[in-house]
Amino acid sequence: MFYKKFFIKYKNHEIIFRLMTKYYKNILIFYFFTFLSFPIYSKELKIAVLKFGSVNWELDVLEHHGLDKEFKLNLKRVQMTNKDAAAIAFLSDSADIFVTDWIWVSKQRYQGNKVSFLPYSTAAGGLIIKNSSEITSIHDLKNKKVGIAGGSIDKSWLLFRAFFKKKYGMEATTFFRTSFAAPPLINGLLKTGDLDAGINYWNYNARLKAQGFKVIINIEDMLPILGIKGDLPLIGYVFKEELLEREYDLVKRFLQATNLSRKILEESDEEWDRIMKLTGARDKEMLISIRDSFRKGIPKSEIETLNQNIIKAYDILKNIGGKKLVGKGERLAEGTIWNAN
């Protein structure tokens, strides 16, 4: 009985083996085309985003339109409460990419951290007042209370100081009665009348413009006085050089996909209606203000012009902000701006 069972078992295996040998080509072809029918995704890319930040909007548009699948991207949005938390996440490898300014990148390179910057947006803040204010020009703000978003070495404030000094020959810090606070608090104090004017970030100014405020002068309007012609990107995507070298094709595909999602936001008003909740807009008027400001901040200049303007702006900011702003860097650190070509 044992031999009979063994013989039957052996014969079954022999039959299966013969069938596999006979049809192995068909089996291989079946598995080959089955495998190809599924997209091959790259390693996960973790992007640090702020809840109401523009990067979050872009990535939502990217995923909604299937651009992640088209470019075979495996993206993970890492939600952050503020830009400092995003920087910490990036440096600790909890995020692969985040958005910040080129001064931060240059300082990191001087400290030995090989990170690089790619221009993302030229959107900048400006000096804003109530529509009903009696103030009609910068001259009317002498000894008035002006709130500055961020701190004393905020880039927008330093560019304003440089502009003010060059155009009027005076120091803005003594012309105004300045105070520094977080962007939401600046907006709140402007609405209550505790501040006469404010210099805030573009997205906060966009909200105020939908609530009875107007901008006297934008940062980009000051640039020609400072010798900067064309766009000046203040923020950009930041990557570690290690990622750029190891996953160059992946990063290129990510940038191609984000460029297309930005194009959708540039051209489609309907898309803004869809992402209204993500922007934090309270009503359609505020959404339109945010939308128009975002579109205005999409870089139009050639990459070489952008790079040269960053180098010029670094020198201007260094002369005002000093080591507190730029650290030991006498000039923009080599390699700060990534050549993506």
pLDDT, tens only, 216-230: 999 999 999 999 999
Is 41 or 224 the better-scoring residue by pLDDT? 224
Is the confidence at residue 27, as pLDDT, over 50?
no
Cβ atoms of residues 304 and 221 within 8 Å: no
Q: CA–CA separation, 54 vs 32, rounded Å?
A: 41
Which of 25-34, 108-117, 120-129, 197-206 has the weakest average pLDDT?
25-34
Q: Does residue 135 sit in the same domain as residue 217?
A: yes
Is 241 or 21 the better-scoring residue by pLDDT? 241
Any domain includes 214: yes
User: What is the per-residue pLDDT for 42?
Assistant: 60
Q: Which of 175, 204, 226 is at the close of a domain?
A: 226
Q: Does residue 213 sit in the same domain as residue 130?
A: yes
Q: What's the pLDDT band for 150 if we cut at 50, 70, 90?
A: confident
User: What is the per-residue pLDDT for 32?
Assistant: 42
Q: What angle do CA 102, 108, 112 make, to 5 degrees?
A: 140
Any domain includes 286: yes
Instruction: Work out the number of other CB atoms within 10 angstroms of the CB of residue 329.
Output: 18
Q: Does residue 158 sit in the same domain as residue 284?
A: no
Q: Does residue 103 sit in the same domain as residue 143?
A: no
Q: Which of 184, 201, 226 is at the close of a domain?
A: 226
Q: Does residue 50 sit in the same domain as residue 79?
A: yes
User: What is the per-residue pLDDT for 52?
Assistant: 87
Q: Does residue 115 sit in the same domain as residue 148?
A: no
User: Can you list the pairs that 86-94 forms with residues at least 24 positions away whose Cβ atoms lie under 8 Å?
Assistant: 86/48, 86/49, 86/50, 89/48, 90/48, 90/238, 94/46, 94/48
Biggest CA pair distance of the chain: 110
Any domain includes 315: no
Q: Does residue 130 sit in the same domain as residue 216?
A: yes
Q: Quick one: average pLDDT of 159-170?
A: 96
Is the confidence at residue 152, as pLDDT, over 90?
yes
Instruction: Work out the number of other CB atoms within 10 angstroms of the CB of residue 288.
Output: 16
Is the confidence at residue 77, as pLDDT, over 50?
yes
Q: Does residue 154 sit in the same domain as residue 220?
A: yes
- Burial of residue 290 (number of CB atoms within 10 Å: 0-12, 13-18, 19+): buried
46: Cβ–Cβ under 8 A, 6 or more apart, which residues? 76, 78, 94, 95, 96, 97
In the chain, the number of structural domains is 2
Q: What's the pLDDT band for 39 if we cut at 50, 70, 90?
A: very low
Q: Does residue 80 sit in the same domain as residue 135?
A: no
Which of 11-20, 255-264, 291-300, 329-338 has the weakest average pLDDT?
11-20
Is the confidence at residue 116, as pLDDT, over 80?
yes
Q: Which of 193, 226, 259 is at the close of a domain?
A: 226
Any domain includes 259: yes
Any domain includes 196: yes
pTM: predicted TM-score of the whole model, two decimal places: 0.85
Q: Quick one: average pLDDT of 47-64?
A: 95
Q: What is the amino acid identity at position 110?
A: Y
Q: CA–CA separation, 203 vs 173, rounded Å?
A: 24
Tokens for 85, please give them.
């938390």
Any domain includes 134: yes
Place of tokens 């297309």: 260
Q: Does residue 200 sit in the same domain as residue 253?
A: no
Q: CA–CA separation, 10 vs 70, rounded Å?
A: 50
User: Which CATH number characterizes residue 56's domain?
Assistant: 3.40.190.10
Q: Does residue 137 sit in the same domain as residue 187?
A: yes
Q: CA–CA separation, 205 vs 155, rounded Å?
A: 16
Any domain includes 34: no
Q: Does residue 132 sit in the same domain as residue 199?
A: yes
Domain range spanning residue 114? 44-122+233-299
Instruction: Work out the number of other CB atoms within 10 angstroms of the CB of residue 338.
Output: 19
Torsion 59-64-69-71 (CA) sign: negative
Instruction: Work out the number of other CB atoms within 10 angstroms of the CB of residue 311.
Output: 14
User: What is the per-residue pLDDT for 63?
Assistant: 98
Least Cα distance to 191 among 249, 245, 128 occurs for: 128
DSSP-derived letter for residue 137 is: S
Is the confidence at residue 36, as pLDDT, over 90?
no
pLDDT tens-place string over residues 244-293: 999 999 999 999 999 999 999 999 999 999 999 999 999 999 999 999 99
Any domain includes 340: no
